[in-house]
Amino acid sequence: MRKYFGTDGVRGTVNQDPMTAEFALRLGRAAGHVLTQHLSHRPQILIGKDTRLSGYMIESALCAGLTAQGMDVKLVGPIPTPAVAYLTRSLRADAGVMLSASHNPAGDNGIKFFGGDGFKLPDVVELEIEACLDDLPPLPAPLEIGKAERVDDARGRYIEFLKASLPRDLRLDGLKVVIDCANGAAYDVAPRMLKELGCDVVAMFDTPDGYNINQHCGSTYPEFMCQKVVEVGADVGLALDGDADRLIACDGQGELVDGDRVIAILAEHTQQQGLLSGGAVVTTLMSNMGLERYLNGLGLQMHRAAVGDRYVLEMMREESCNLGGEQSGHVILLDSNTTGDGLMTALQLLCAMKSQGLGLDAMASGMSLFPQKLWNIVLTQRIDVMENPVIKKAIRIAEERLGRIGRVNVRMSGTEPKVRVMVEAEEQDLMLSVGDRLAEVIQGEYSL
């Protein structure tokens, strides 16, 4: 059983357990010990962060713990999560850390570790770090502590990495792009990269102040991006989340293009280029049945993993697939990066538009989505509601009502005290009826 690590590292409200300075210091010591015990060289770790005010506090405390345990630390400042994954590999660090709570509000923060290969740490290593937290190792000798230094060109390195993923003769001149940076980690690199590739860029929410990350902006509030696209006559809109590992897009008419549609577009484009591996795409239990039908029509399979980009990645590696993602906008292009990368996804979308001479509306029109809705039921504390017999019975009844023309998925959030109920069906009225009843049952059992 996990005590601190969830599906995406350690996350919580700042100055409440576990997201305190004291815990970050202890976590730094525990991680420093576990990650370096088998190394024969001077260990190095890289730390990036998004734009939350608490990033300064958590960074300082974590850095103190890591250096106290003998690790040298490279501080890269505000930068997207996928940049940390890339730079960990590029700078030959033994591990990387991203301080972010993704799309959560500014009062939350999180600590997520990457291995030296740029992939998130395996469950077994996270559990080893948790065990070490309860029994911290001895401190090294006085002159065996680590040192910390800042890496000044980290953003520029990441921009060049992104640009290098496109064909050298491809430019994006003539495309007018609205980019919503969510006042987050990509506030600088996203507009710079797009301008360097020739786009006419309209940047939104690119002035972080420590408090406004994800505040009515970014991928969780894409309506403002959609409005701006129509207002300025842009070709496409791109909305990132706070750490820029997910993307929600919209076409030139301001119509949303979610993660499922993005995956469909990229799957078809990559297949046409002969670059799609595994004959399949990996998605999650939340992905729409319409996507599955569309991919099947292209002669492709769709594998469903558990919700969470780490589980998508695991299945991608198991099935030898190089494209996978989530409806929420996490898209993994495994030939390019080892984690979800909103900007890499955006570039590949723009590349597909430019090479095919089509807008997103035309490229996304071939896929019909089933009516689908997500109910979020807030709990007073994290509890496994799936063990409740009343809820089990309600789920069984819902599945019987839907039969083969729909699906239901009930799960606990991996990062928040919430139950998420997803229902989809060919008929909207049936979908809403089933979902409302399920949500009503769960609220009745665990009302606030």
Q: What is the pLDDT of residues 281-325, one digit of tens each?
A: 999 988 999 999 999 999 999 999 998 888 999 999 999 999 999
Q: What is the CATH number of domain 372-445?
A: 3.30.310.50
Tens of pLDDT, residues 414-434: 767 889 999 999 999 999 999
The whole-number average pLDDT for the span 117-139 is 94
Share of the chain above pLDDT 90, in %: 86
Instruction: Identify which has the larger pLDDT, 139 or 170.
Output: 139
102 is catalytic: yes
What pLDDT is attached to residue 1?
A: 66
Please compute the mean of the pLDDT values over residues 58-85 and round it to a whole number: 98
Which CATH topology does 258-369 take?
Alpha-D-Glucose-1,6-Bisphosphate; Chain A, domain 3 (3.40.120)
- Whether 344 contacts 162, CB under 8 Å: yes
User: What pLDDT sits at residue 349?
Assistant: 96
Could you tell me which CATH class the domain 10-153 is placed in?
alpha beta
pLDDT digits (tens, 9 = 90+) for 325-365: 999 999 999 999 999 999 999 999 999 999 999 999 999 78
Report d(CA 46, CA 27) in Å as an integer.
Answer: 15
pLDDT at 178 over 70: yes
Q: How far apart are CA 375 and CA 343, in angstroms?
A: 29
pLDDT category of residue 437 using cuts at 50, 70 and 90: very high
Cα separations in angstroms, 20 against 11, 121, 313: 11, 22, 30
Q: Please compute the mean of the pLDDT values over residues 9-14 and round it to a whole number.
A: 96
Q: Does the pLDDT of residue 36 top 80, yes or no?
A: yes
**CB contact burial 343-366 (16+ within 10 A = b; e otherwise):** bbbbbbbbbbbbeeeeebeebbee
| pLDDT at site 106 | 98
The pLDDT assigned to 304 comes to: 96
Q: Would you state the pLDDT for residue 366?
A: 81
Model pTM score: 0.89
Contact indicator for 126, 113 with CB cutoff of 8 Å:
yes
Q: What is the pLDDT of residues 56-66, one digit of tens each?
A: 999 999 999 99
Q: How confident is the model at residue 2 (pLDDT cuts 50, 70, 90)?
A: confident
Q: Which of 40, 46, 74 is nearest to 147 (CA)?
A: 74
User: Which two three-digit tokens encode residue 130?
Assistant: 């948790």
**Residue range 13-28: average pLDDT?**
97
Give the per-residue pLDDT at 282: 98
CATH topology of domain 174-255: Alpha-D-Glucose-1,6-Bisphosphate; Chain A, domain 3 (3.40.120)
Q: Which of 109-123, 230-244, 357-371 has the weakest average pLDDT?
A: 357-371
Burial class (CB in 10 A: 0-12, 13-18, 19+), 301: middle
The predicted pLDDT at position 141 comes to 96
One-letter identity of residue 210: G
pLDDT (0 to 100) of residue 383: 74
Average pLDDT, the chain: 94
Q: In the chain, which segments carry CATH 3.40.120.10?
A: 10-153, 174-255, 258-369
pLDDT band for position 69 (50/70/90)?
very high
pLDDT, position 169: 84
Identify the weakest region by mean pLDDT among 68-82, 148-162, 244-258, 384-398: 384-398
- 447 confidence band (pLDDT: 50, 70, 90): low
pLDDT at site 308: 86
Q: Is the pLDDT of residue 448 over 70?
A: no
**Residues spanned by CATH 3.30.310.50 within the chain?**
372-445
Q: Which of 100, 102, 219, 287 is catalytic?
A: 102
